[in-house]
């Protein structure tokens, strides 16, 4: 459901000239979405991910321009993106799908601020976040105890995704819970359409979209 939501978000952004996939992993949007041929899709991730991915996709051609950017999103990734040809003056869609949970809070906030600084014209940022209720699930307790015992930060979760985007320099446009009509597609228990976006201390996944210079 999350992937379909972001697919629709990206294909509807017909104004976009470049796309940045943060923590791209095995993402295949450059191959399977009908993006304009001159659209540039930048995929950021660790180099070993690209090695595995390219072995699987070696006989398939992307439908648009695809550029790999080897980078650690927990550190300084901006120079590598710019070296790959990212243009601050081109309209951009940023997607962080399935990423924030694996970063610490400071890295998430820094990533949002850095991406906002790289946008001089119209841009959109889409991300998914877990609610803090996830950290209270019994199945999560071994991980929580291990992190605390080794003095490592807990996985990133928030019940206020709109405030998170705003603090990173993005004007919050949409916050949707999986299960609402916009992110249901007939496959999930329904969440009321009039849910007002207030903090929900459950493990529910929120899909947040912000704009900059729109």
Do β-strands 123-130 and 205-212 pair in parallel, antiparallel, or remain unpaired? antiparallel
DSSP letters spanning 54-119: HHHSTT---SSEEEEEE--TTS--HHHHHHTT--TTS-EEEEETT-GGGS-HHHHHHHHHHHHHT-
Domain count, the chain: 1
Provide the pLDDT for residue 74: 87
Helix (H), strand (E) at residue 140:
none
Q: Count the helices and strands in the chain (H runs, E runs).
A: 7, 7
Identify whether the C-beta of residue 43 lies closer than 8 Å to the C-beta of residue 62: no
Mean pLDDT of 159-176: 92
Give the range of the structural domain holding residue 100, as residue numbers without chain letter. Answer: 2-212
pLDDT confidence band for 110 (50 / 70 / 90)? very high
pLDDT tens-digit profile of 22-79? 999 999 999 999 999 999 999 999 999 999 999 999 999 999 999 999 999 988 999 9
Q: What pLDDT is attached to residue 129?
A: 92
Is-contact 114 123, C-beta < 8 A?
A: no
pLDDT tens digits, 174-204: 888 877 788 788 887 777 666 555 545 454 6
Q: Tell me, what CATH number does 116's domain have? A: 3.40.50.150
Distance between CA atoms of residues 210 and 172, nearest Å: 4
Token output for 142: 């071994």
């Amino acid at each position: 459901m999350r992937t379909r939501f972001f697919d629709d978000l990206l294909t509807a952004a017909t104004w976009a000239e470049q796309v940045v996939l943060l923590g791209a992993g095995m993402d295949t949007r450059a191959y399977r979405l009908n993006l304009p041929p001159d659209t540039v899709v930048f995929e950021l991730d660790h180099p070993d991910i690209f090695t595995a991915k390219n072995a699987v996709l070696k006989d398939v051609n992307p439908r648009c321009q695809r550029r790999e950017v080897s980078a650690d999103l927990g550190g300084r990734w901006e120079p590598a993106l710019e070296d790959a040809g990212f243009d601050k003056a081109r309209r951009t869609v940023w997607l962080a799908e399935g990423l924030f949970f694996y970063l610490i809070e400071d890295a998430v906030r820094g990533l949002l601020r850095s991406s906002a600084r790289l946008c001089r014209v119209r841009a959109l940022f889409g991300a998914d976040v877990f609610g803090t209720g996830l950290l209270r699930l019994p199945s999560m307790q071994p991980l929580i105890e291990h992190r605390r015992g080794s003095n490592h930060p807990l996985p990133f979760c928030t019940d206020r995704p709109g405030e998170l985007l705003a603090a990173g320099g993005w004007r919050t446009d949409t916050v949707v819970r999986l299960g609402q009509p916009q992110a249901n597609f007939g496959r999930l228990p329904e969440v009321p359409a009039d849910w007002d976006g207030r903090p929900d201390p459950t493990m529910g996944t929120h899909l947040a979209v912000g704009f900059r210079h729109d």
